[in-house]
Structure 1
Amino acid sequence: MSPLEPALDLFLAHVRVEKGLAENSVEAYGRDLRRYVEHLDRLGIPAWERVSRAEIQAHLAELVQAGLSPRSQARALSAIRSLHKLLFAEKLTAGDPSDEVESPRPGRKLPSLLSVEEVERLLAAPDVRRPAGLRDRAMLEVLYATGLRVSELVSLELNDVNLETRVLLARGKGNKERLVPVGAPAAEATRAYLAYARERLLRGRRSKDLFVTPRGARLTRQGFAKLLDRYARQAGIRRKISPHKLRHSFATHLLAGGADLRAVQEMLGHADVSTTQIYTHVDRTHARRLHERFHPRA
């Protein structure tokens, strides 16, 4: 038995009896702390008095490498702190080495995205022989070409898009305006929609909105999300797709291609560049997965 084990039993009895913790909470403490004790045993630590801040930090680093979530890491550190606090209070150690160990920061969830090949299949899904298909193809192309929010896409007006200079005016959060470049395929798809489909959808009605329905109204966010879901299934994309995934894909693919972070920030309409930096993490994560999968010495 580990020489550290008796103190662990003392702690678990303390939280069960003195703190009155539920049994599942006690078991969770036990799992976290047994893993910690195993770590200290591997390091050859013979007594709690010999544990320092360095050993605790090394254990937290092990948890990161094992793939534990930031929430699980924080829970483990909480258990370790409680244990050392009790040992110090009971005068079993001269100090508390966990005192200056910082809690792991909760990680931001990385946005999921489509591969370039999946985007190509999605863009090709609408039937451009129909007016609605031409509209949908133009909307998908513009969304992927510009990284607009879906609310910005459906609220575009005719005068917001200049197909000659290939620039559009987006109105973002707080009605803040920004100019966003439009790629050639998106401009061409929009031109085809305007030349043939829009008037047929309107059937003589008048509208200032760029993307319209046969009732003469603008397409809603919910309506576009349903269309996107249908086209994703047609394209053979099995997982759930949202308009925001195309925005994520736009940003990540741009940065992967070498685009400047500040330029991508401006195109997305982010007030703070730290919001945009999440996409650099996505790109690095994707690159790491590819390396682990294909490199012979990964």
Structure 2
Amino acid sequence: MENLPSAFEQLLAEYADDLRLGRGRSEHTIRAYLADTRSLLTFLAGLDEQSTLGDLDVHVLRAWLAGQSAAGVARSTLSRRTSAARNFTAWLVRTRRIGADPAVRLVAPKSRRTLPTVLRQPQAEAAMKAAESGAAQQDPVALRDRLIVELLYSTGIRVGELCGLDLDSVDHERRLLRVIGKGDKERAVPFGVPGADAIGAWLRIGRPALANARSGAAFLLGRRGGRLDQRQARAVVHEVLEAVPGAPDLGPHGFRHTAATHLLEGGADLRVVQELLGHASMATTQLYTHVSVARLRAVHDQAHPRA
């Protein structure tokens, strides 16, 4: 990674503080924004050794994006970097480092949204049964793994939200999870009877066997007693799906896609699904209606004599 002028490095550090403390962004978002902003500032510095923030205009922004497009960067990535640039220049204006926002006229390339891969309902059911059979011997880790896949599928929460659950996040009486989502927004997500059974077994047998001084209030634990890591949760999902013949190799987000699709196929209202998933925009939730329609079309094409 190229070194930036010290003034730009200091600027990045102050911007990172604002993202983390002032805006409450997630660490994942902060890393992405900082990487994209560093790329932009590196491009600006490479135009002229004497470049300053005053030289950052819409032409520089367009040239920065055009160079990446020519290098084959995906539309979705260009769209994200456009968003990062807008966020950065808005911060520069807000903190009075520049007078006018050069990104106001910057147009993001439209990304081609691909339909997510999801499990069919029999495959999802087989995955749950595979996890249950693994937990039959009451092994603490197996009980945890069963709970991981059960909650990811039955609630549709993000893997980061799952790993962030504390003991007091579970409302056992009403069968609700108190989830802290993007932007530190809290929402309540229901779980069913199988989820309640998995939680009960985990809290009675699994968690006490793994808990130690490192555990604190964490609901789900790793093998060494600390809070469950997202990478461990992903490994569990991949392992469970390996036991399901014909199932696609999905990560935890695949279970989220699957939960949303199956809710809509079961007749759930789109706005309810939006609330359950914690989507800020209805447009994000509507993607799953296209998944259902695409599946309907595939079945029609295969089965109907006039297709």
TM-score by length of 1: 0.62
1:34-73 → structure 2 map (5 Å cutoff): none
Indicate if the aligned counterparts of 1:203 and 1:214 stay in contact, CA closer than 8 A. Answer: no
Q: In 2, Cα distance between the equivalents of 1:153 and 1:118?
A: 22
Indicate if the aligned counterparts of 2:261 and 2:288 stay in contact, CA closer than 8 A. Answer: yes
Indicate if the aligned counterparts of 1:168 and 1:182 stay in contact, CA closer than 8 A. Answer: yes
Q: CA deviation at 1:207?
A: 2.2
Q: CA deviation at 1:122?
A: 1.2
Q: In 2, Cα distance between the equivalents of 1:282 and 1:216?
A: 39
- Partner of residue 122, structure 1: 127
Q: Which runs of 5+ in 2 are unaligned?
A: 1-74, 76-109
Indicate if the aligned counterparts of 1:150 and 1:221 stay in contact, CA closer than 8 A. Answer: yes
- Partner of residue 145, structure 1: 154
1:127-206 → structure 2 map (5 Å cutoff): 127-128=134-135, 129=137, 130-202=139-211, 206=215
- Partner of residue 219, structure 1: 228
1:228-243 → structure 2 map (5 Å cutoff): 228-237=237-246, 239-243=248-252
Number of positions where the alignment pairs a residue of Structure 1 with one of Structure 2: 195
Q: In 2, Cα distance between the equivalents of 1:296 and 1:176?
A: 49
Q: Summarize deviations over 1:114-144 as a string: whole Å, max 9, x none.
A: 0111111111223111111111111111111
Q: In 1, Cα distance between the equivalents of 2:288 and 2:186?
A: 23
Q: Secondary structure at the match of 2:280?
A: coil
Indicate if the aligned counterparts of 2:177 and 2:189 stay in contact, CA closer than 8 A. Answer: yes
TM-score by length of 2: 0.61
- Confirm whether residue 109 of structure 1 aligns to residue 143 of structure 2: no
Q: Summarize deviations over 1:41-99 as a string: whole Å, max 9, x none.
A: xxxxxxxxxxxxxxxxxxxxxxxxxxxxxx9xxxxxxxxxxxxxxxxxxxxxxxxxxxx
- Partner of residue 43, structure 2: none
Which residue identity does 2:117 align to in structure 1? S
Which residue identity does 1:190 align to in structure 2? I
* 1:254 maps to which of 225, 239, 263: 263
Indicate if the aligned counterparts of 2:222 and 2:229 stay in contact, CA closer than 8 A. Answer: no
Which residue identity does 2:284 align to in structure 1? T
Q: Secondary structure at the match of 2:257?
A: helix
Q: In 1, Cα distance between the equivalents of 2:166 and 2:244?
A: 29
Q: In 1, Cα distance between the equivalents of 2:297 and 2:278?
A: 28
Q: Secondary structure at the match of 1:124?
A: helix
Please, what is the CA RMSD of the aligned residues?
1.7
Q: CA deviation at 1:147?
A: 0.5
Q: In 2, Cα distance between the equivalents of 1:207 and 1:117?
A: 38
Q: In 2, Cα distance between the equivalents of 1:286 and 1:206?
A: 43
Indicate if the aligned counterparts of 1:137 and 1:189 stay in contact, CA closer than 8 A. Answer: yes
Q: In 2, Cα distance between the equivalents of 1:174 and 1:124?
A: 34
- Partner of residue 275, structure 1: 284
- Partner of residue 8, structure 2: none
Runs (4+) of structure 1 exceeding 6 A deviation are none
Which residue identity does 2:180 align to in structure 1? R
- Partner of residue 16, structure 2: none
Q: CA deviation at 1:111?
A: 0.9
Q: Secondary structure at the match of 2:188?
A: strand
Indicate if the aligned counterparts of 1:167 and 1:181 stay in contact, CA closer than 8 A. Answer: yes
Distance verdict in 2 for CA 1:136–1:295, change over 3 Å? same
Q: CA deviation at 1:238?
A: 5.2
Indicate if the aligned counterparts of 1:262 and 1:273 stay in contact, CA closer than 8 A. Answer: yes
Q: Which runs of 5+ in 1 are unaligned?
A: 1-70, 72-104
Indicate if the aligned counterparts of 1:207 and 1:216 stay in contact, CA closer than 8 A. Answer: no
Q: After superposing the two structures, state which structure 1 stretch, 233-242 or 118-127, moved more.
A: 233-242
Which residue identity does 2:129 align to in structure 1? A
Indicate if the aligned counterparts of 1:125 and 1:231 stay in contact, CA closer than 8 A. Answer: yes
What fraction of aligned residue pairs are identical, expressed as a percent? Answer: 43
Which residue identity does 2:114 align to in structure 1? K
1:12-51 → structure 2 map (5 Å cutoff): none
Distance verdict in 2 for CA 1:290–1:179, change over 3 Å? same
Distance verdict in 2 for CA 1:262–1:235, change over 3 Å? same
Q: In 2, Cα distance between the equivalents of 1:115 and 1:173?
A: 28
